[in-house]
Amino acid sequence: MLAQMQVANEGLPLPGAEATGDELFRLGLLYSTGQGGAPLDYVSAHMLFNLAAMRGSMEAKIYRKELSEEMASDEVAEAQRQAREWLAHG
């Protein structure tokens, strides 16, 4: 069920296109805290929260907003680019 694609910094494999909002949200939590084998990576966390929010996770919307306040605008833009790329390859 895991896609071949990796998050930019060679962290955990991304879930496949069938991933639910909750699965994407949980993976975003790992990246936002640097736990569970994931490196601390706000860009990847934001990307995953963004995808989770698109799949209906209300919690992801909240976390994405809070995280974006801690990030530079170019980092948010990169996270959004990565989310679009994931969707295109999903």
- Structure confidence at residue 90 as a pLDDT band (50, 70, 90): low
pTM over 0.95: no
Instruction: List pLDDT tens digits, range 40-70.
Output: 999 999 999 999 999 999 999 999 999 999 9
State pLDDT tens for residues 66-85. 999 999 999 999 999 999 99
Sign of CA dihedral 59, 60, 62, 63: positive
* Alpha-carbon span 74 to 18, nearest angstrom: 29
Sorted by where each begins, the domain ranges of the chain are: 18-89
pLDDT single digits (tens) 4-54: 334 444 678 878 888 999 999 999 999 999 999 899 999 999 999 999 999
